[in-house]
Amino acid sequence: MLKSVTTHEATAADDAEQELTDGFNLMIDALKLNGLDTIYGVPGIPITDFGRMAQAAGIRVISFRHEQNAGNAAAIAGFLTKKPGICLTVSAPGFLNGLTALANATTNCFPMILISGSSEREIVDLQQGDYEEMDQLAIAKPLCKAAFRVLHAQDIGIGLARAIRAAVSGRPGGVYLDLPGKLFGQVMDAQAGTKSLVKVIDAAPAQIPAPAAVKRALDVLKSAKRPLIILGKGAAYAQADDEIRALVEKSGIPFLPMSMAKGLLPDTHPLCAGAARSTVLKDSDVVMLIGARLNWLLSHGKGKSWGDAPKKFIQIDIEPKEMDSNVEIVAPVVGDVGSCVSALLEVINAGWSPPPAEWTGAVSKKREDNVAKMAPKLMNNNSPMDYHGALGALRTIVKERPDAILVNEGANTLDLARGIIDMYQPRKRLDVGTWGVMGIGMGFAIAAAIETGKPVLAVEGDSAFGFSGMEVETICRYNLPVCVVIFNNDGIYRGTDVNPSGGSDVAPTVFVKGSRYDKMMEAFGGVGVNVTTPDELKRAVNAAMDSGKPTLINAVIDPAAGSESGRIGNLNPQSKLSKKK
């Protein structure tokens, strides 16, 4: 008689027998013991029964149409909750489909665990052609923070514990857990099984910064005439929202939020320098990075964007190896954001002189000028819409519904939305992150709705949406409060490119003109709306958010409105010779 070790429905007959458990039940019990109550995945051999049994045991099992989307859902669940998001895939092809999301999670420092069924070791290692044969552990290893395989049922508890710790401790990231099919069926004594499980205590221990490091950082900060704080998604992840707000306000230092750190303090905060980005990067003399890396998104901390004036960097990060990765960090503060910011605050609270008014005044002036320049563009009611008109409408909606979660991907659709739509609360903006990856849209939207219960507004380029579009069926199946707005400009960046050869194929960046993505949502019982003006867009989104019904709005955008690669055209090598041909 096989029994889950946590569900005891013993009958008199059972008592006479030895109580047994198996790999399926042990894995479920191990997840539950650690508060991991949601699985994102795609069923199939050898994990179909695992999903069924997990659901029967009270775990929420959200079934997707493609593993990449399930993986993205797990990754963003990890970002939102600080618990590793769980993605469950079948062997080889399913595993590979999930791998992009695992690698992306690792790159973005989101904690997730990709659990994949796999084929039998004996056959895989002899390369004898098993069903979906693949050495998955070896393939996953270079793409994630840690990878483990469990071969014996009694090691399931330890295996999951190692995976949880690896995912959330230190710099968070993706972890792979390989479970060969045979493991699930392995039977063992139920009591011994219970004992073998591990409840992970303090999975992400606080990392307290050294007092000398804190002092060094404050000394540098005090010496600044034009200080700047840059908040990154590590700061958002840390959930030290009150401390971060206090640090900014008590120090009086302007802050620049990276994309997913928007809303830690409202974008409308008087110290927000989001609308004065180039000025503060160029003119600041001391920059304190909090949970943000000096990677391509910050021009590696050097070059034209950072100006000629000498610059000193202070960096708060949990990962010691991040220091000096691109430029010298004169004051590294290694620790978790909450502990580091609290330590800084203690000193600042004891007495602090705000930065010179000349500096804060110059930042405010630049911000106000840029906001004023943008304002009239946002008020147009043109048809077909341009990005500014459409985003002006969405901006008002987010202002009125600050607790809604905004998911955003595309090129122009991403870059312009990032600047135009102000955010007011932490962790409400979820986007393409460090890799600029298309395809996060529906996975992020689904997990955001599931994990937070809040309404979700997904603003998607028509190309971006295509990478995960089939999941609108998933949104309808679970009846999630997700409103997808597709900025339909007939293609990638623009819908106006032509085939230079004159042949009958359209240009590589161009899609079917006049597509009606709204019909996709209708196909599964959701609401589809086609809109051609900002006013119509606003009405349709408000109706969707009020009703909470799955909705897809096809927003017709002028195909000529976008620019090549959005705002990162400078990164796109373009041939000078091609035009001469």
Residue of 428, 415, 382 whose CA lies nearest to 531? 382
Rounded Cα gap, residues 61 and 300, in angstroms: 41
**What's the CA gap between 81 and 101, in Å, rounded?**
17
Contacts of 320 (CB under 8 A, 6+ apart): 332, 334
Binding site for ligand OXT (CB under 6 A): 259, 274-279, 297, 370-371, 374, 410-415, 418-419, 432, 436-439, 461-464, 487, 489, 492-493, 562, 565-568
Kindly state whether residue 383 participates in binding ligand ADP, applying the rule CB under 6 A: no
Which residue's beta carbon is nearest to the bound ligand ADP?
234
Residue identified by tokens 């859902």 is: 73
DSSP letters spanning 132-163: T---HHHHHGGGSSEEEE--SGGGHHHHHHHH
Name which of ligand OXT, ligand ADP, Mg ion, none residue 145 binds, using a CB cut-off of 5 to 8 Å depending on partner kind.
none
- What is the per-residue binding string for ligand ADP in 314-353, x denoting contact by CB under 6 A? ---xxx--x-------------xx----------------
- Shortest separation between residue 478's beta carbon and ligand ADP, angstroms: 29
Cβ distance to ligand ADP smaller for residue 198 or 340 = 340
Q: Which residues of 405-443 are buried (b: 16+ CB within 10 A; e: fewer)?
A: bbbbbbbbbbbbbbbbbbbbbbbbbbbbbbebbbbbbbb
Tokens 């909705």, located at residue:
551
**How many residues contact Mg ion, by CB under 5 A?**
3
Residue type, 57: A
Binding positions for ligand ADP, 232-251, rule CB under 6 A: 232-234, 237-238
| Stretch 504-563 residues interacting with ligand ADP (CB under 6 A) | none
409 touches ligand ADP by CB under 6 A:
no
Residue 306, contacted partner among ligand ADP, ligand OXT, Mg ion, none, CB below 5-8 A by kind: none
From the CB of 339, what's the least distance to ligand ADP, in Å? 8
**7 touches which of ligand OXT, ligand ADP, Mg ion, none (CB within 5 to 8 A by kind)?**
none
Question: Which C-beta is closer to ligand OXT: that of 203 or that of 275?
Answer: 275
> Of these, 34, 89, 169, 434, which contacts ligand ADP (CB under 6 A)?
434
Q: Which residue from 94, 291, 332, 526 is in contact with ligand ADP, where contact means CB under 6 A?
A: 291
Q: Where are the alpha helices (DSSP H) in 43-189?
A: 48-56, 67-81, 92-108, 121-125, 136-140, 156-168, 181-185
Under the binding rule (CB under 6 A), the answer on residue 109 touching ligand ADP is yes
For every residue of 2-20, which 3-state class applies, written as one string? ECCCCCCCCCHHHHHCCCE
Beta carbon of residue 186, minimum distance to ligand OXT (angstroms, whole number): 38
Query: According to the binding rule CB under 6 A, does residue 299 interact with ligand ADP?
Result: no
Sign of CA dihedral 225, 314, 325, 165: negative
Amino acid, res. 21: T
Q: How far apart are CA 48 and CA 181, in angstroms?
A: 11
Residue 108 touches ligand ADP, criterion: CB under 6 A: yes
Least spacing, CB of residue 364 vs ligand ADP, in Å = 24
Q: Which stretch binds ligand ADP (CB under 6 A): 180-188, 254-262, 380-388, 390-398?
A: 254-262
Helix (H, G, I), strand (E, B) or coil at 578: helix
CB atoms inside a 10 Å sphere around CB 535: 13
Q: Residue 567 binds which one of ligand OXT, ligand ADP, Mg ion, none, with CB within 5 to 8 A depending on kind?
A: ligand OXT
Q: Which is nearer to ligand ADP, 31 or 340 (CB)?
A: 340
Strands 187-189 and 20-22: antiparallel
Which listed range, 114-122, 226-234, 265-273, 505-513, lies at the site for ligand ADP (CB under 6 A)? 226-234
Pick the closer one to ligand OXT by CB: 103 or 438. 438
Under rule CB under 5 A, residue 461 binds Mg ion: yes
d(CA 386, CA 455): 25
422 binds Mg ion (CB under 5 A): no
Report the nearest approach of Mg ion to the CB of residue 463 (Å).
5
Distance CA(522)–CA(528), nearest Å, equals 5
Q: Residue 16: what are its φ and ψ, rounded to 5°?
A: -70, -30
- Per-residue binding letters, 146-175, with ligand ADP (x by CB under 6 A): -------------------------xx---
Give how far Cα 517 sits from Cα of 68, 123, 318, 486, 555, Å.
Answer: 21, 45, 43, 8, 9
CB of 178 to ligand OXT, least distance (A): 25
Site string for ligand ADP, 112-151 (x = CB under 6 A): ----------------------------------------
- Calculate the CA dihedral of residues 327, 332, 335, 340 and round it to 10 degrees: -120
Q: Is the CB of 402 or the CB of 525 nearer to ligand OXT?
A: 402
Residue whose pair of structure tokens reads 């009694």 in the numeric block: 154
Least gap, CB of 522 to ligand OXT (angstroms): 21
Report the distance separating Cα 83 and Cα 112, nearest Å.
8
Contacts with ligand ADP by CB under 6 A lie at 108-109, 171-172, 232-234, 237-238, 258, 260-261, 291-293, 295, 297, 317-319, 322, 336-337, 434
The residues binding Mg ion (CB under 5 A) are: 461-462, 489
